[in-house]
Chains A and B, each alone.
Chain A
Amino acid sequence: MAKTALQFRHNSRDVAVFVDGGANLLTTLRELVGDMTPKFGCGQGGCGACTVLIDGDAHLACLTLAETVAGRAVETLDGLKDGPNLHPLQRAFMEHFAAQCGYCTPGMLMAAKALLDRNPSPTRDEVVNAIAGNICRCTGYEPIIDAVLAAASGGMRGLHGPEHVPSPHMSPRTF
């Protein structure tokens, strides 16, 4: 099958690849661009692990025809941190223990970034809605929701070293 030349912006750089007709964006990013941060979960739009931003909006890379991103800006988790500095969302995820096995985390972070980029002060319901298409098997979602809300309210605070975050759930007792 003839391949098509495809150029698009990948995080902070321009990339050019040759894709097969019908190739999806997830395969293109992972196999041709070499960006392994979007994860393959189900390949049919059911889990959100492959979430990336296209011109700022959250999209499922596995359901996006690669050729449709020609000339557009694709953001992935690989471009989220700024050199050695983690993005406030990444730091909030760490502080709130919002990852266990970590497989959903790239998609969660990108879905959350899409939300915070257009709505810096979301309500809890808006956060829930933003990650409603992303499956997490480990955390019970609560720590993820807390992390996104903390990143929103903390703004850039997260860039200045780890802080102690009091646990919202635990009331430890010893007897």
Chain B
Amino acid sequence: MARHRGRGMASINYPIGMNLGGDPSQALVHSNPSGKFTVSLSSIDLGQGMKSVTRQICAETLGVPVEDVYVDTADSDTGPHCMGSFASRGTHRVGNAVMAAAREARGVMMEAAAEELEVNAADLDTDGRGNIHVKGAPHRSISTKDVAVAAQFKQGKTISGRGIFLVPLSAVDPETGEMSPATCYAHACLVAEVEVDDETGEVAMVRMDSAYELGRALNPRLVEQQLVGGAWMGISHALFETTEPYYPDPGHGPRDFVDYLMPGPGDICPHDIAVLERPAADGPFGAKGPGEMCANPVLPAVANAIFNAVGVRIDELPITPEKVLRAIRAQGGARPQARR
């Protein structure tokens, strides 16, 4: 009886958002008389950082400090429509909608500033610190707050913008049935190293090394947070959790957190991540989405690593000690494959 090390890898192409066209999200941006801006969304931040990223996108597009933007995710009764937070679509779809809304609001803001400074709006620029000035003449400037006050109380204008992002519908080729399933893809490759105990069937994670190409990382710390946490969930799907352990027999299903297995803090492993940034042509500032894809490559990589370690090919998830042990016994013992 022994513990066997094995290494496996997997690569994925991950389409951003829902396929085949449509998948809209809307955003509204307006200024308050204080010169601060509010982004209204129905999109939900589950902790993945949608509010932070849309705030950055709005501030960058408007040309104002990020502190001057507030993102209100309101609720789906009162906010502009959103398909939802799933399919890694938040940054790409909602971000694009926010960008469009902020662009329109910026146009109104510049017109209002032009009226106050008595110049052509095309000659104005923002400094990103809350001021609008004449290009080449920074001393001729006005604060966004003063512009907002003038627009609200003097000019009778709302500094606001509307934005929607809708993927054009992909037509079906009548001959081949071919469609264009997505406008952009993220990519990843992950190598997992495991240790399999051929006496108990237990699989322990040893380490993971991964590379993710996800367009421009608009907020690198949030991207890292998604990738680290998502890989944990990949381990969980690969080795631990299921609602129906003997599917299609519904028996022995977990009913609570005590029965529902997930890796604890002692079951994780070192994970080195490289982020590659290839901006997407249709992404907000080149961003794609690091959502679901951060869990996906872990599952096949772990299954491959188990095969490499003991020579058994398990094709049902999760890969429990019971399945590993039965497979090892069925083939008459562990058969470690060539070290990769």
Interface residues of A (CB under 8 A from B): 41-42, 44-47, 97, 99-102, 127-129, 131-132, 134-145, 167, 169-175
Q: Specify which chain A residues have a CB less than 8 angstroms from the CB of B256 in the assembled complex.
A: 42, 44, 46
Docked complex Cα distance between A99 and B231 (Å): 16
Per-position 1/0 for B209-240, Cβ under 8 A of A: 00000000100111111011111110000000
Majority SS of interface residues in chain A? loop
Residue of B nearest to A98 (CB): B225
Whether the Cβ atoms of A169 and B228 lie closer than 8 Å is yes
Whether the Cβ atoms of B265 and A172 lie closer than 8 Å is no
B295 vs chain A, min Cβ distance (A) = 10
Given A97-B225, A169-B224, is A142 in contact with B271 using a C-beta cutoff of 8 Å? yes
Whether the Cβ atoms of A97 and B221 lie closer than 8 Å is yes
Docked complex Cα distance between A10 and B278 (Å): 53
Apart from A144-B265, A174-B277, what are 11 other A-B pairs with CB-CB below 8 Å?
Answer: A101-B47, A102-B47, A128-B266, A135-B264, A137-B262, A140-B268, A169-B272, A169-B273, A172-B217, A173-B277, A175-B276
Whether the Cβ atoms of B257 and A173 lie closer than 8 Å is no
Given A44-B256, A44-B258, A97-B224, is A145 in contact with B265 using a C-beta cutoff of 8 Å? yes
Whether the Cβ atoms of B228 and A172 lie closer than 8 Å is no
Q: Specify which chain B residues have a CB less than 8 angstroms from the CB of A46 in the assembled complex.
A: 256-258
Whether the Cβ atoms of A138 and B47 lie closer than 8 Å is yes
Interface of chain B residues 234 through 282 with chain A (CB within 8 A): 256-258, 262, 264-266, 268, 271-278
Whether the Cβ atoms of A170 and B273 lie closer than 8 Å is yes
Residue of B nearest to A144 (CB): B265
Docked complex Cα distance between A123 and B49 (Å): 31
B294 vs chain A, min Cβ distance (A) = 10
B45 vs chain A, min Cβ distance (A) = 9
Whether the Cβ atoms of B47 and A140 lie closer than 8 Å is no
Question: For the complex, is B170 an interface residue (Cβ under 8 Å from A)?
Answer: no
Whether the Cβ atoms of A175 and B278 lie closer than 8 Å is yes
Majority SS of interface residues in chain B? mixed
Question: For the complex, is B46 an interface residue (Cβ under 8 Å from A)?
Answer: yes
Q: Specify which chain A residues have a CB less than 8 angstroms from the CB of B273 in the assembled complex.
A: 169-171
Residue of A nearest to B259 (CB): A46
A165 vs chain B, min Cβ distance (A) = 9
Whether the Cβ atoms of A172 and B268 lie closer than 8 Å is no
Question: For the complex, is B48 an interface residue (Cβ under 8 Å from A)?
Answer: yes
Docked complex Cα distance between A135 and B231 (Å): 16
Whether the Cβ atoms of B46 and A101 lie closer than 8 Å is yes
Q: Specify which chain B residues have a CB less than 8 angstroms from the CB of A45 in the assembled complex.
A: 258
Whether the Cβ atoms of B258 and A142 lie closer than 8 Å is no
Docked complex Cα distance between A169 and B269 (Å): 12
Residue of A44, A136, A169 touching B271 (CB-CB under 8 A): A169
Residue of A nearest to B225 (CB): A97
Whether the Cβ atoms of A167 and B224 lie closer than 8 Å is yes
A99 vs chain B, min Cβ distance (A) = 7
Q: Specify which chain B residues have a CB less than 8 angstroms from the CB of A129 in the assembled complex.
A: 266
Docked complex Cα distance between A140 and B276 (Å): 22
Docked complex Cα distance between A138 and B48 (Å): 9
Given A140-B233, A172-B277, is A131 in contact with B228 using a C-beta cutoff of 8 Å? no
B286 vs chain A, min Cβ distance (A) = 11
Whether the Cβ atoms of B257 and A140 lie closer than 8 Å is no
Given A173-B274, A175-B278, is A140 in contact with B220 using a C-beta cutoff of 8 Å? no
Whether the Cβ atoms of B229 and A140 lie closer than 8 Å is yes
Whether the Cβ atoms of B274 and A139 lie closer than 8 Å is no
Given A100-B229, A135-B257, A145-B265, is A173 in contact with B275 using a C-beta cutoff of 8 Å? yes
Q: Specify which chain B residues have a CB less than 8 angstroms from the CB of A143 in the assembled complex.
A: 225, 228-229
